[in-house]
Structure 1
Amino acid sequence: MTEKIREEAAVDSQEILRKFDKESDYRVLKGFAAKIVSAIAITFSLFQLYTAIFGVLDAMIQRSIHVAFGFCLIFLLYPAKSDWPRDRIHPVDFILSILGAAVPLYITVFYKQLVLRAGTVTTLDYVVGAIGVLLVLEAARRVVGIPIVTIASLFIVYALIGPYIPGQLAHRGADLPTLVQHLFYTTEGIFGIPIGVSSTFIFLFILFGAYLEKTGLGQLFIDLANAIAGWASGGPAKVAVLSSGLMGTVSGSSVANVVGTGSFTIPMMKRLGYKPEFAGAVEATASTGGQLMPPIMGAAAFLMAEFTKIPYSRIIGAAAIPALLYYFGVWTGVHLEAKRLGLRGLSKEELPKFREIILERGHLIIPLIAIVYLLVTGFTPMKAALYAIFLSIISAMLRKNTRISLTDIINGLEQGARSALGVIAATACAGIIIGVVTLTGLGLKLGTSLVDLANGKLFLTLFFTMITSLILGMGVPTTANYVITSTIAAPALLMLNVPVLAAHMFAFYFGIIADVTPPVALAAFAGAGIAKANPLKTGLNASKLAIAAFLVPYIFVYNPALLLINVQPAEIIWIIITSLIGIIGVSSAVSGYLITNQNIIERLIFFLGGILLVTPGLKTDIIGAGLLVIGYLIQRSKYSKVKTVKAK
């Protein structure tokens, strides 16, 4: 059954991935060049494992070596122009790969002299640093895309022309040597917190994900989701929600997740009777939500921990209820659409057996359980990921049918390094943005501007911050996305005394949801490509399914109890129950259906009732529950009349 459905996918998934996710658009080398690249990538992973086991090096040394490996591979694997050959390395790229390795290593080799000079830049320092900044922009252009490079370039221009800018965004300005020194030779710029997290936590989690892929965990998630939900109304769509959500916990890319599971789930949904635009939207929304799902959250949670100085375990705990509401909202939307269309689930003959799956491959989940346990019990993210990597290999060896060979283990090292290149380019480029912000004080200026624009009103400030985050998040991967939105948008909320975690989570949520929000909805467009659907309609459907992600951030800012801030255990259970019921109300209002079709008044009743139930508080819960009861009774009455008419 599985193979038959895969054959029905009349689209080349790899081409879709290359179109919407530049991280997959690398050369496929052969012969000696391929061996050289493999050797560099494997050495890169071994370096990261060595420092994780025996101790991280001094910050600038660890980060510069990390960037040197990354840039060397980027320029070897990603051609400068789309029409350059993909089976061999262009001489220009070969030269740039040498520069990409040598320029960051300049810091490693001359580290003591740079420290002793204490910020004084020599001519050679200046030239090397300037080349380094240009290499960062070019590496990001090749792997991540034009949007983040454009933003970083505008920030550089802003730093240089500060005195000539009118209004409160003006600053004293910086000459080129000062800017280069700040961006390249301090931990406030390119080698700042983002690349620091990439060189420790994030790389190991990406390597962990590579080994999970080698063990076949992705297919296990799809089979388990089919066994659990494939029989229900609209089963394949629910399978997409479950499998993509599970894969999203270890995947760092919404688009890659869409293509990875969507090549299987989207044809199934279309075959069952879902419209192509809806099928693509379901997969896009579920895949994007993976970036919001603990424990990994697209690796941005590590950055959030560093920026906010809040323990990592606390952040993933706070993210749990909003992520649950997000996925429950998507699930409810899918269910209501299936009921409206009268769609059945898969037959018993088409479904895999849950017991057989668990007995044959259930042990592959052990590393995921272990990493959650390690994180919750106080292990650092780096140590938790390190142990999980070894455990993923060991657990795969428990049964013959999942056992991986020595070649697979070595290939995992190579794949992990390759998969990390997008994060390295993105975080290095995001470092330029942070460097300019710290040098010019732009974060505070933009925060003040947003607050002034909103006239000091929290709701308007939240709205403007949402729009800013959606725009800044367009076409930018998760890690860089969070860096940009938290640096530019979150300060406005902090100025209005919003809790630090709530402010950062608010900006993070809307940066992520940009992946399914038109006009630049990369995940939705990738889903549309697989479904052969209209991209804009797919994006609009995805936005409707992701309604919880547009509402929940406002609610946890006004009532941080949703993030488990200052809340008792008994309250947590109550909040979860009332919020889930509230999401049913909101989702039914958006879809216009519960038991039967709703008119505008009914939709308004369900929407307001749902919002009030999701908002923590006894009064809001009572009023919200009352509205939902009224809405339900109206729906029952209408349904009974429809049945009576049909019976006659």
Structure 2
Amino acid sequence: MQSTGREQPAPMQEAGPVDHEAILERYEGATRRLAGIVGQAVGLLAAAMSAYHLWAALAYLPAHQMRAIHLGFGLMLIFLLYPATSRGSRHRIPWHDVLLALVAAASMAYIVLHYREVAYRIVRPTSTDLAWGAMAVLLVLEASRRTSGLALPLVGIAAIAYAFLGPHLPGLWQHRGYSVNRLMGQLYLSLEGLFGVPLGVSATFIVLFTLYGAVLDASGAGRFFVDLARSAAGGRRSGAARSVVLASFLLGGPSGSGVATAVTVGAVAWPLLRRAGYTPETAGAVLAAGGIGAVISPPILGAASFLIAEILQISYLEVLKFAVIPTLLYYLSIMVMIEIDARRLGVQSVQTAARPLRELLWRQGYHLSSLVVIVIFLMMGFTATYAVIWSIVVAFLLSFLSRESWLTPARLYRALQEGARSVLTVVATTAVAGILVGVVNLTGLGLKFAGIIVGLAGGNLILTLVLAALILLVLGLALPITASYIVGAVTVAPALVQAGVPEPAAHMFIFYYSILSEVSPPTALSCFAVSAITGGNPFKTMWKTWRYALPAFLVPFMFALDPRGMALLLEGPPIEVGLALLTAVLGVGALAAGAGGRALSDTAWYERAALVAAGLLLTYPAPWADAAGLALGLAALGVQRWRMALAGRGAPRYTAEGKPG
């Protein structure tokens, strides 16, 4: 069976240059590398997909037609590019995959041509409707298996089985059951199944933002961001690790993938980290944590962020606003941990071969516009669709400021191809998610599941959030981030809202915990991927990454535990937002110092425990918790200062474990 991206092979040993593309294929699925006329034909199809979406964004097409064409392009390319098994040919397309691609195109063409008529046959589909619908559902499940592994299609199959077996299920899970005709009408003929909101978001937003990332990469932005980070490392001993975090932040938007960002940066930064004195496991933890930060960072968040905007019926700018403070807190924690580890591990500053920072900014600094141009267009009142289209135009025009970054017709053509290829996994994922959403809406499963969670928690909000987090982390062990979010949005979000969590906070909570699956045991995809570069132990890398990513696990609780926590999503009066930010910064700093074992100097065990407790209290959105956390944190620092003063007069020093040394 094809690699699912969730297996745990032994890490590759470091030997010569790192082939980061091979590592990405190993963990995110391998595609065919086609040459000759066949390769050109498939490349033309991919470019046509991107060109179609640029045209469709400016034209008007009925939702059913637009989404069917989007899915048709996606399914065809998946069957042509993704082998059925890991042993399948990588250099030719077997006849049966060509046949599947043609059948997929025909099943979508049927909807495009008859979308008006089928809208009246949702409850009573014809035999022709049923035949094409059954083929479409099966093809979507197979496409998902090829791109994301077996787990997601199994979830889709389980949802279909649930719709059929309702009368035979026990207790709360029971429902009246649905016939093949009713279910297929829901999944294929309506806009509440395959062609529902998830696929609609993929067709209107995600594909365009993916294309924008491809255009930026083709213009040399990715290379510039890595060079900029290396040049900005400075002479500090922590410079190498700081450059990793900066590069991850800059690359995260164009790539849209935590794993891809970590591997891309790691291929360049690992030699630098090794020369500075970082162990393979610590270096891998910095890379993995930076990659996750890239996906939660504005201006381009992960694909699930567009679904949040659509589900909550808010603008994408609002979602970006929600993410600002959590992103700042996350990077603050990583930087504090890097400074602590730089002293604890005794790493050294290193010199890089990158161009001087001033020269780099003078020659190619225009690439930094990608961090703000989308936000500017959104603030001017543009929709997300028009904002990204105009951002693509700006990126194209700015590329001509430097001869080496010109977007020539050949480069632009490759960018169109790459944009389509990069969105294929999302196309299959959102189509299968549509099956799940369709069944949930038909059977009322979401409310039943919410009732079970609330019942298990006994009405306790903290326990409800803990259960929700555990469910999302378990889902993330097998499902891609986007699928994990969608499943959580239809099953877990109602439980959080019932427990009193504001709806925006509930969906942002689900969004963050869906992303954190990439660094969560036992799979921790990002950690295994970077361990293939560093040669470190992936499990040790995993636990070290948890230490770096700790605030990302706690920040969602900050804004979900109490309505006052919404200030961390920039909701509320400026004074409340400022106070919430201040206490959160102090809390994250205390947590990082406690977890890292160093504040003013190496901490004793009781100082470490006090700092962690202070951090947890400061992150709880309540005045009494803030006061208690501040007092405990100051007491811990006061004790440490007193102990340092004693040590300076000959008293024994303590190690990070609290032992004399």
Give the counterpart of 2:586 among 581, 605, 630. 581
Give the counterpart of 1:483 among 464, 486, 499. 486
Q: Given the superposition, is the C-alpha separation of residues 345 and 352 from structure 1 closer, same or farther in structure 2, using an over 3 Å criterion?
A: farther
Unaligned 5+ runs, structure 2: 1-13, 654-660
Q: Distance in 2 between matches of 1:90 and 1:229?
A: 49
Q: Counterpart of 2:10?
A: none
Q: Counterpart of 2:326?
A: 322
Give the counterpart of 1:448 among 437, 447, 451. 451
Offset from partner CA, 1:42-61 (integer Å, 9 cap, x none): 11111101111233x10000
Question: Alpha-carbon deviation of 1:270?
Answer: 2.3
Q: Given the superposition, is the C-alpha separation of residues 643 and 229 from structure 1 closer, same or farther in structure 2, using an over 3 Å criterion?
A: farther
Q: Given the superposition, is the C-alpha separation of residues 527 and 195 from structure 1 closer, same or farther in structure 2, using an over 3 Å criterion?
A: same
**Is the CA contact 1:191–1:428 (under 8 Å) kept in the aligned structure 2?**
yes
Write the letter of the residue equivalent to 2:565: P
Offset from partner CA, 1:83-114 (integer Å, 9 cap, x none): 12111101111111111211111100122321
Q: Distance in 2 between matches of 1:477 and 1:628?
A: 39
Identity %: 38
Q: Counterpart of 1:3?
A: none
Question: Alpha-carbon deviation of 1:644?
Answer: 5.5
Offset from partner CA, 1:105-125 (integer Å, 9 cap, x none): 110012232134353211111
Offset from partner CA, 1:430-476 (integer Å, 9 cap, x none): 11111111111111111000010111111111110000011112243
Q: What are the equivalent positions in structure 2 for 1:353-372 lying under 5 Å apart?
A: 353-372=356-375
Q: Given the superposition, is the C-alpha separation of residues 562 and 10 from structure 1 closer, same or farther in structure 2, using an over 3 Å criterion?
A: farther
Normalising by structure 2, what TM-score? 0.93
**Is the CA contact 2:74–2:424 (under 8 Å) kept in the aligned structure 1?**
yes
Question: Alpha-carbon deviation of 1:404?
Answer: 2.4
Q: Counterpart of 2:525?
A: 522
Q: Counterpart of 1:422?
A: 425
**Is the CA contact 1:340–1:596 (under 8 Å) kept in the aligned structure 2?**
no
**Is the CA contact 2:252–2:297 (under 8 Å) kept in the aligned structure 1?**
yes
Question: Alpha-carbon deviation of 1:628?
Answer: 1.9
Q: What are the equivalent positions in structure 2 for 1:335-346 lying under 5 Å apart?
A: 335-346=339-350
The alignment status of 1:293 with 2:293, answered yes or no, reads no
Q: Counterpart of 1:4?
A: none
**Is the CA contact 1:562–1:616 (under 8 Å) kept in the aligned structure 2?**
no
Question: Alpha-carbon deviation of 1:624?
Answer: 2.3
**Is the CA contact 1:291–1:478 (under 8 Å) kept in the aligned structure 2?**
no
Question: Alpha-carbon deviation of 1:618?
Answer: 4.4
Write the letter of the residue equivalent to 1:386: I
Q: Counterpart of 1:568?
A: 573
Question: Alpha-carbon deviation of 1:230?
Answer: 4.1
Question: Alpha-carbon deviation of 1:311?
Answer: 2.5
Give the counterpart of 1:19 among 16, 20, 26. 26
Q: Counterpart of 1:373?
A: 376
Question: Alpha-carbon deviation of 1:391?
Answer: 0.9
Write the letter of the residue equivalent to 1:368: L
Offset from partner CA, 1:366-390 (integer Å, 9 cap, x none): 2432111112332111101100111
Offset from partner CA, 1:263-298 (integer Å, 9 cap, x none): 112332122111111111111111112221122211
Q: What are the equivalent positions in structure 2 for 1:581-620 lying under 5 Å apart?
A: 581-620=586-625
Q: Counterpart of 2:558?
A: 555
Write the letter of the residue equivalent to 1:286: G
Unaligned 5+ runs, structure 1: 1-6
Question: Alpha-carbon deviation of 1:393?
Answer: 0.9
**Is the CA contact 2:123–2:182 (under 8 Å) kept in the aligned structure 1?**
no
Write the letter of the residue equivalent to 2:166: G
**Is the CA contact 2:240–2:273 (under 8 Å) kept in the aligned structure 1?**
yes
**Is the CA contact 1:368–1:388 (under 8 Å) kept in the aligned structure 2?**
no
**Is the CA contact 2:275–2:350 (under 8 Å) kept in the aligned structure 1?**
no
**Is the CA contact 1:184–1:191 (under 8 Å) kept in the aligned structure 2?**
yes
Q: Distance in 1 between matches of 2:252 and 2:266?
A: 13
State which drifts further: 140-149 or 509-518.
140-149
Give the counterpart of 2:242 among 226, 238, 243. 238
**Is the CA contact 2:520–2:546 (under 8 Å) kept in the aligned structure 1?**
yes
Q: Distance in 1 between matches of 2:571 and 2:391?
A: 32
The alignment status of 1:280 with 2:262, answered yes or no, reads no
Q: Distance in 2 between matches of 1:367 and 1:293?
A: 13
The alignment status of 1:159 with 2:163, answered yes or no, reads yes
Question: Alpha-carbon deviation of 1:573?
Answer: 3.0
Q: Given the superposition, is the C-alpha separation of residues 275 and 461 from structure 1 closer, same or farther in structure 2, using an over 3 Å criterion?
A: same
Q: Given the superposition, is the C-alpha separation of residues 420 and 566 from structure 1 closer, same or farther in structure 2, using an over 3 Å criterion?
A: closer
**Is the CA contact 2:122–2:186 (under 8 Å) kept in the aligned structure 1?**
no
Q: Distance in 2 between matches of 1:241 and 1:114?
A: 51
Q: Distance in 1 between matches of 2:117 and 2:622?
A: 59
**Is the CA contact 1:9–1:263 (under 8 Å) kept in the aligned structure 2?**
no
Q: What are the equivalent positions in structure 2 for 1:42-121 lying under 5 Å apart?
A: 42-55=47-60, 57-121=61-125
**Is the CA contact 1:8–1:267 (under 8 Å) kept in the aligned structure 2?**
no
Write the letter of the residue equivalent to 1:422: T
State which drifts further: 620-629 or 497-506.
620-629
Q: Report SS of the residue matched to 1:298.
A: coil
Instruction: Count the aligned residue pairs.
Output: 638
Q: Distance in 1 between matches of 2:540 and 2:296?
A: 24
Write the letter of the residue equivalent to 1:340: R
